[in-house]
């Protein structure tokens, strides 16, 4: 079996990660050199300066392109750096459509920085593909979506939106951070670009920051490599190695995340202290059938309602195993309060319009013993 036809777990462990030819080391070395010896003028061994390219970073990029099914991948210092690199595809006068419910840092970047360069943004509910069609303009160059969304867990039909985009000559980018390529591969449904905060499930251990853009066209590879070279917002060799280390166990971690996520979601949905639960794996989720069509699992991200800020705070203070903090996708269970953390920058009015309440909790179920997680949630819920 060639690597191109190998299964996901096999590719996660091997693609881009051949044993070191010098020593036979099974792990890609961390090449910490900033520069490389040149054999003579105009002749080298493929590397000149590590801002431009680095062997450890190259290994990670090869691996992530394989997992997402893209033709190239380029890694950056954070997820937001990756999104900013994607925006360099456009110029003054261009128009971008963005999902209205995405990670709060994305509209903050677009509205407070990028609009200053004359690029316009329109935010729509992409769960209805016709909203995307209606928002298209002659100047539209990109549609950017998250599915599921953060934190409302609303899905977008990737294939339907991709078809609308391509009819209009517009590219589609998908933030696939919540699902990882193990459960969802947007390129298979027509996406042109896939991005991740590699900080989350790809790394999986809450010890590394990073972002990636996976492209499908030669122009993507050329542009994103040029941005890495010119702006220098690259991922370091050590961070690249950390993510390579994490990706090796992505398949087994995601299976456990999913198994525990389903059980925790069912527990929350049946608890009297909990209001609505937002999880695509529940049959009560309005897009459950779409989730089954474009995702191979439901993952570990769950949002639920406790009714008020006071109740949410009392619950969060009562937890003993689940950790209150920013981020998600680690082996440990992380829990956050979107209104005061990830989406605070949106402001009260915008949060209300999106349905993000002060009583809302976002849960990233880890891979601890599921019974222990449920017991911790139950005792904390008992105190509100």
Domains of the chain listed by start with CATH number: 3-247 (3.40.640.10), 250-381 (3.90.1150.10)
Mean pLDDT, range 59-83, rounded to an integer: 98
d(CA 331, CA 134): 41
58 in active site: no
pLDDT per position as a tens digit, 79-88: 999 999 999 9
272 in active site: no
Residue-level pLDDT at 370:
98
CB contact set of 156 (below 8 Å; sequence gap of 6+): 99, 126, 127, 129, 145, 146, 147, 149
Among residues 11, 141, 185, 200, which one is catalytic? 200
Q: Hey, is 288 helix, strand or coil? A: helix
Q: What percent of the chain has pLDDT over 70?
A: 99
User: Confidence band (pLDDT; 50, 70, 90) for 289?
Assistant: very high
Among residues 51, 108, 159, 263, which one is catalytic? 51
pLDDT per position as a tens digit, 163-185: 999 999 999 999 999 999 999 99
Mean pLDDT, range 8-35, rounded to an integer: 95
Among residues 58, 157, 175, 258, which one is catalytic? 175
Mean pLDDT, range 253-270, rounded to an integer: 98
Among residues 103, 123, 182, 279, which one is catalytic? 103
Q: What percent of the chain has pLDDT over 90?
A: 96
Any idea which residue has 């080391």 for tokens? 25
200 in active site: yes
Residue-level pLDDT at 5:
79
**3-state SS string over 211-273?**
EEEEECCHHHHHHHHHHHHHHCCECCHHHHHHHHHHHCCHHHHHHHHHHHHHHHHHHHHCCCC
pLDDT per position as a tens digit, 190-218: 999 999 999 999 999 999 999 999 999 99
What's this model's pTM, rounded to 2 decimal places? Answer: 0.96
User: Confidence band (pLDDT; 50, 70, 90) for 2?
Assistant: very low
User: Confidence band (pLDDT; 50, 70, 90) for 281?
Assistant: very high
CA Rg, the chain, in Å? 21
293 in active site: no
Are 250 and 180 in contact by the 8 Å Cβ rule? The answer is yes
Residue-level pLDDT at 4:
61
Q: Work out the widest C-alpha separation in the chain, in whole angstroms.
A: 73
């Amino acid at each position: 079996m060639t690597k191109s036809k190998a299964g996901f777990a096999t590719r996660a462990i091997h693609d881009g990660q051949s044993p070191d030819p010098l020593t036979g080391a099974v792990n890609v070395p961390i090449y910490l050199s900033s520069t490389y010896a040149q054999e003579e003028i105009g002749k080298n061994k493929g590397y000149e300066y590590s801002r431009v390219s680095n062997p450890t970073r190259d290994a990670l990029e090869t691996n992530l392109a394989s997992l997402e099914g893209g033709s190239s991948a380029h890694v950056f210092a954070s997820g937001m750096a990756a999104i900013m690199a994607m925006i360099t595809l456009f110029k003054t006068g261009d128009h971008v459509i963005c999902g209205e419910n995405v990670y709060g840092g994305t509209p903050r970047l677009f509205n407070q920085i990028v609009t200053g360069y004359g690029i316009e943004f329109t935010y729509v509910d992409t769960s209805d593909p016709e909203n995307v069609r209606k928002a298209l303009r002659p100047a539209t160059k990109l549609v950017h979506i998250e599915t599921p969304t953060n934190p409302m867990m609303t899905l977008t039909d990737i294939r339907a939106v991709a078809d609308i985009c391509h009819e209009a000559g517009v590219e589609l980018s998908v933030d696939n951070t919540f699902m990882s390529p193990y459960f969802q591969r947007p390129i298979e449904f027509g996406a042109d670009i896939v991005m991740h905060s590699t900080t989350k499930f790809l790394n999986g251990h809450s010890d590394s920051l990073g972002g990636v853009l996976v492209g499908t066209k030669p122009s993507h590879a050329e542009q994103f490599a040029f941005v890495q070279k010119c702006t220098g917002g690259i991922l370091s060799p050590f961070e690249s190695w950390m993510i390579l280390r994490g990706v090796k166990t992505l398949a087994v971690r995601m299976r456990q995340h999913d198994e525990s996520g389903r059980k925790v979601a069912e527990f929350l949905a049946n608890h009297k202290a909990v209001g609505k639960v937002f999880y695509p794996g529940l049959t009560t989720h309005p897009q459950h059938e779409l989730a089954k069509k474009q995702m191979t699992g439901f993952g570990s991200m769950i949002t639920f309602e406790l009714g008020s800020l006071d109740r949410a705070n009392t619950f969060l203070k009562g937890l003993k195993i689940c950790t209150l903090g920013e981020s998600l996708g680690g082996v440990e269970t992380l829990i956050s309060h979107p209104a005061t953390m990830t989406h605070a920058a949106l402001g009260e009015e915008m949060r209300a319009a999106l349905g993000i309440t002060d009583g809302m909790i976002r849960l990233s179920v880890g891979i601890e013993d599921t019974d222990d997680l449920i017991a911790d949630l139950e005792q904390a819920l008992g105190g509100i």
